[in-house]
A and B are shown apart, each in its own frame.
Chain A
C-alpha cells in the first residue's frame, strides 16, 4: 500500500515539475524570439543609416568636380572634403559588432565630413556663377534630401535600439539575454561639436 502511494506521489510531482519546466521553456523560447526580432529590427535600421550616409558620400565626388570648375583655387577646402570622405567611408561598422566605441568613431568621422561639406558649400557665396550653376543647385537639393534621410534613418535606428535595449534589460528577459549574448546596443547621440547638416542656401 505504501508503494502505491509513493508511486502516485512521484508521478504527481513529476507532472508538476514537468509542467513548470515546460512553461519555462516556452517562455524562454518566446522571449528569445522576441529579442531576436527587435535585434533584427535594430540591425535593419542600422543598415538604413549606413545606406543614407553612403548616399551622401556618393554625391560628394560630383559636388567636388562642379566646385572645382568654378573655384579651383579653393584647394584646401576641396582637399578637406575629399580626405574627410575617404576617412568616413573607410570606417564600416558591422551591425553585429556595434559597440559604443565603434559607433562613436563612425559618428565622429561622419561629423567631420559634414563640417567639410559645410565649408565647401559656403564657397558658393564667393562665386555667383557657381551658385547659379544648375548642376550645383541640383546637387545641393539632393544633398538636402540626403541629410533628411540621414536624420530619419538615425531617428528610426535610435527608436529600434531603444526598443531592443528595453527588451533585453527587462526582467526576466535579462536572464536570457546574458546567456544568449544579447548585448546592449549603442544609439546615436547628439554631437557636442554640433554635427550640423551643411546649410543649403539659395
Chain B
C-alpha cells in the first residue's frame, strides 16, 4: 500500500477542501486588518501549495485506479464485518427472547428472588457471545490487513476530516478573538514620536481648514476611529453649547510645558467664540496634560471640575497606556458635564471603550454565523463521503450492548453553556450625524489662566 500523500488525487482533493477554511480565514482577516495577512500567510502558502499540486497531479490514470481499488477493498471489508455483526446480533436477540420467556414463566414471588440471578446468568452468556464476536472480527481484519496492507485509506480520510474540522474551529476562534481584541497598550514608540516636540507654533490644527475636525493627533497616538468619534462629540458641544474646542495629543510638548502650549494655542488661534473655548493638551510621552477653558467658560467648567474630569477619565487610561479610551471618555465626560447628563461610566480598561461594543457584537455574530454554516457544511460533506466510501459505522457493524445489565435511573444531566459574545453593559449612544462644517477657523477666544493640569 502506498504512502498516504503519494495518493495524489486524495492529496489534491483534500488540499482543495482544506483551502476553504483558509480562504475564509483570509477573507475575514482581511476585513479586520492588514496585519493578519502576515500572521496567516505561512498557513495559506502551505495549503495552497498542497491544493494546486494535488489537483495538477491527480489527473493521472494510475492515481485514479489506485484510489478506486482502495475504496473497493475497504467496502468489501465493511461488508464482511457487517455479516459477522449481524450474525452475532441475531444470537444476542435469541438470548434476549429466551431471557424474557424465562422471566415470564416465573411467579411474582420467584421474580423477586430469582430475577437478578437469571439476569446475571444471561449476562455471562452475552459476554461469551461478545468475546466470540470480537475474536472472529479481529481474525478477519488481520487476514484482510495481511492481504491488502491495512486500512490506511480510512485513517487518511478520517484524519483529513478531523484536520478540516479543527481548522475551521481554529479559524473561527481566531477571528472571534480578533474582533474582541481589547485595545492594545500603546507600547511601540516610533522614532519620530520620540524625537519630535510640538509647540503652538508647529502643531497642526485641522479645525483651521475643516470645521468638523477638533482633534490634533500629529503623532497618530489615537486611532482614526477614536479621532472620528471624539470629533462627533466635540461638534455636538460646539453646536449645542457654543463651546469651540481644540483637543491636542502629542508625544512630546516643547519644554514639557503644556501650559505654555495652551497659552500659545489660544494666542495664535483664538479658540472659542465669545471666549467660550476649550483647549486640552496632552503630552503622552511626557505624561503631562492641561485642560484649559476659555475666559467665559470658567464658570461652567471650573478648575475643580477640570481636575475631576482628568482624574476620572484621563489619568487612569493613560496609566494603563490606553490613550484612545482616555481621550474619548474625557470628551464624553466633558460633554455630559455641560449637558448635565449622567457622567459616562468608563468600561474596564481591559476592554475597548463602550462606543465600539455594538459594532463589534454585530461583527462577532456575522463571523459566528459564517463559521456555523461552514462547520455544518463540512460535517455534512464528511458524513456523505464516509457513507459513500463505506467508512460509516452503522448499527449493522456494531454489536448490540448488553441488554441484561440493570441500569439505575440516574439522570445524567449534560449541559453546556454556549458562550456568546461578551456582555454589553452600556449603550453606545448615538451621537448623531450632523452636517459637516464647511470651512474652518476659530472664533477669536482667549484664555484667562483657568483650568487644571498635572501629570500621571
Contacts and interface: CB of A to CB of B under 8 A. Distances in A.
Contacts of B452: 141, 144-145
A148 B450 contact: yes
B449 A141 contact: no
A138 B305 CA distance: 10
B149 interface: no
Contacts of B447: 152
Contact of B450 (A138, A149, A202): A149
A4 B305 CA distance: 84
Interface string B230-263: 0000000000000000000000000000010001
B303 A142 contact: yes
B303 A145 contact: yes
Interface string B431-456: 00000000000000001111111100
A84 interface: no
Mostly helix, strand, loop or mixed at chain A's interface?
Answer: helix
Contacts of B263: 152, 155
How many of chain B's residues touch chain A, expressed as a range?
10 to 19
A78 interface: no
A155 B304 CA distance: 24
Contacts of B259: 148
Interface residues of A, number: 15
B451 A142 contact: no
A152 B449 contact: yes
A149 B304 contact: no
Contacts of A141: 303-304, 307, 452
B448 A152 contact: yes
B309 to A, nearest CB: 12
Contacts of A41: none
B278 to A, nearest CB: 15
Contacts of A81: none
B170 to A, nearest CB: 49
A149 B307 contact: no
B449 A148 contact: yes
B255 to A, nearest CB: 15
Contacts of A52: 449
Interface string A121-160: 0000000000000000010011011001111110100000
B303 A151 contact: no
B304 A142 contact: yes
Interface of B: 259, 263, 303-304, 307, 447-454
16 contacts: A52-B449, A138-B304, A141-B303, A141-B452, A142-B304, A144-B303, A144-B452, A145-B452, A148-B449, A148-B450, A149-B449, A149-B450, A150-B449, A152-B263, A152-B448, A155-B263
Given A141-B452, A145-B452, A151-B449, 4 more contacts: A48-B448, A142-B304, A148-B449, A148-B450
